Amino acid sequence: MLNIGLILPDVLGTYGDDGNALVLRQRARMRGIDAEIHRFTLGEAIPENLDVYTLGGGEDTAQILAAEHLIADGGLTRAANAGRPIFAVCAGLQVLGSSFRAGGQTVAGVGLLDMETGTLGKRAIGEVVSEPQLDDVNEPLTGFENHMGATILGADAYPLGRLSKGVGNADRHASADLEDGEAQILAEGAVQGSIVATYMHGPALARNPQLADYLLARAMGVDLKQLQPLNIPAVAQLRRERLA
C-alpha cells in the first residue's frame, strides 16, 4: 500500500494543487499498486511515516497558519529527515524555507529548504517552462505561475528547473545585489534532500508526468526507470499544447 499525505488542504488548497495527490494515486493504481490519500487538516498531527507528501498553495493568512502548525507539529520535519519525498507548490514552497513575506511581515518558515522569500517587483502570472535539474528527469517542466514571492536559494538548495519561459523564483529587482544574481533569475523551484518544490500550478504533476513518476519512484524506493511506462494520450496532448 502506498500512503500519500495531502497536507493542510484546508489552508493550502487554493489553486487546485490537491490534484497532485490525485495524480500520484492514479498513476500508482494504473500500475496495479494500491494507493490511498490521507488528508491532514489544520490542527491535526501529521504522521512521519507516510510514503510521500504533497502541499499546495494558499493566501497570506492561510500560509502563516500553515507555517505555525507545521513548525509546532514537527511531523513533516521528521518525515523529511527520514528521507520521505515531499512535493510542495507555491505557498507550500515558501513555507518550507527559512522565512517568507506574508501579511506585510517576515514570517519564520519550517526551515527544510535553504532559501528565503521576499517580494517581487511585479506579480508573476503566466506560463512557465524550465529544463529539469533532477537526476533521471529529462522532459521539460511546464506549469502556470501566479505569485509575488521572490525566492532566493541558499547553498544547500538547488533549482528544480532552469528557466526558459516565465519569471520563476526571482526577478532582477530581487537578485540585483547578489553575486549569483543571474543564476537566481534562471531558477524555478527548489530541491533539497527529499524535498521537491515549485511555483508551478496546473496541477504540476498532471502537466509533468515524468516528475510525478520520479516522486512515486522515490516513495517506493526504486529507480524511475523501474516503473512501468504509462501511455495516456490526453496527458501527451496537454503537454504538447502547453509547451507550444
Over the stretch 140-189, which tens digit does the pLDDT of each residue have?
999 999 999 999 999 999 999 999 999 999 998 888 888 898 999 999 99
> What pLDDT is attached to residue 57?
94
> What pLDDT is attached to residue 1?
95
Please state the pTM of the whole predicted model: 0.97
Catalytic, 90? Answer yes
Mean local confidence (pLDDT), 102-128: 95
Catalytic residue among 38, 90, 147, 173: 90
Catalytic residue among 69, 147, 173, 201: 201
User: Mind listing the domains of the chain with CATH numbers?
Assistant: 2-243 (3.40.50.880)
Q: What SS3 state is found at 157?
A: coil
Annotated binding site: 123
Round to whole Å and give the CA distance between 82 and 236: 34
Shortest CA distance to 225 belongs to which of 239, 212, 209, 214? 214
Over the stretch 13-62, which tens digit does the pLDDT of each residue have?
988 999 999 999 999 999 999 999 999 999 999 999 999 999 999 999 99
> Considering the chain, what percentage of its residues have pLDDT values greater than 90?
89
Catalytic, 201? Answer yes
